[in-house]
Amino acid sequence: MVEKNEEISRRLEYHVTNLSKQRFHLFFEKNVKETIDYISKEMKLHGYTVKEHEFIISGRKAINLECLPELNAENDIIIACTAHHDTYFGTPGADDNASSIAVLLEVARLLSENSTQEGISFLFFDLEEITMQVLFFFALQLIYEHQIEKTEDEDEKKELEIKKKKHLEDNEKHFGKLALQGSKAWVNERLLRFPNLKAIINLESVGFKNTRKNSQKPIPDASLIPTTGDFLALVYTPDFQWLFSKMFSLFPKELKVVPIKVPPDHLAFGSRSDHLRFWEIGFPAVMLTDTFEYRNPNYHQATDRPSTLDYQFMNAQVRWLLNILPNLTKTLKDTTVWPK
């Protein structure tokens, strides 16, 4: 078992290393295609059928991937594990979000080898981070910063600082409109083709761990979380406490999982990934995360590289998901959870 665990960690690092490159549409389309091809090849290698779900944003094609066990049709799927495959501008995206892709590739491989993959699909979403409109926000932010640096008038500088602050607040406020486009398109165009799908387990930045005291920053909407950043957060809303309860078991001893219940209006921390598109329609979903910038100083930075991640931490997540997914699938198979 030790050798097997070492092999899982080695494979996780291999995947993250291969996937860590700028995967930002418009400037890095070649990298985006290579990433989609890499995921497709790995999933097909381990006995999954892969379908491309194409959608158009700002006149450009984007691609989600649907990966189903070879003998399963869409109406056989009970659970979908999800992760986005694009990156924020300017980062190779090792933690965000190659770490999540790598974990799911290993989970898919091991489920297949154990013949326990029935009813479990894997979705890889495009354009979680941005759409083309976000380039406007980047450009305007740079303009404000340049003007602030150049002006010598203190009153004008204060006015520009106020404008820049409002601009950044507006960017955050409209995040859901400008980002999460792949999952939005999938919910609108594909969800109803999976009539027996009961739950979404979304992975978002799961590879960074820090065992130093006070390495975990406080999280908006969350209370009583540890101050050491050595845990995986399981994020849910009150509506889906039942799903959290069914998942909250069978942890490997090396994995600490901390539940974070966020307000039903999904503000701030809780809305920061593709599970939000499912919450918006009342569909059961949870997020697994290392809490991104509340722990990881490399979040959305050029320093988000493979060498900064903890592959034993990710390994434990793989083994946990292997433990719970087959049982969760059987438990949910004959239940009605959506629509209410």
Residue labelled with tokens 């059961």: 284
Rounded to whole angstroms, how far apart are CA atoms 113 and 111?
6
Question: Positive or negative CA dihedral for 5, 288, 118, 54?
Answer: negative
At 208, the pLDDT band (50, 70, 90 cuts) reads very high
The pLDDT assigned to 340 comes to: 61
Here the tokens at position 298 are: 């490399």
pLDDT per residue over 134-179, tens digit each?
Answer: 556 666 667 777 788 888 888 888 888 888 777 666 655 555 456 8
Here the tokens at position 297 are: 């100083």
Rounded to whole angstroms, how far apart are CA atoms 106 and 317?
10
Rounded to whole angstroms, how far apart are CA atoms 229 and 296?
9
The pLDDT assigned to 193 comes to: 96
Calculate the alpha carbon distances from 61 to 17, 260, 287 in Å. 26, 35, 27
First-to-last alpha carbon distance for the chain, in angstroms, is 43
The pLDDT assigned to 138 comes to: 62
Rounded to whole angstroms, how far apart are CA atoms 213 and 57?
43
The pLDDT assigned to 167 comes to: 67
pLDDT per residue over 254-264, tens digit each?
Answer: 999 999 999 87
The mean-pLDDT minimum among 35-49, 81-95, 262-276, 285-299 falls in 262-276
Q: Which CATH fold would you assign to the domain 2-131+179-332?
A: Aminopeptidase (3.40.630)
Question: What whole-number percentage of the chain has pLDDT above 70?
Answer: 91
Of 233 and 173, more confident:
233
Give yes or no for a contact between 290 and 95, defined as CB atoms under 8 angstroms apart: yes
The pLDDT assigned to 143 comes to: 79
List of residues 6+ apart from 58 with CB closer than 8 A: 131, 132, 133
Residue 322 has pLDDT above 90, yes or no: yes
- Tell me the whole-structure pTM to 2 decimals: 0.87
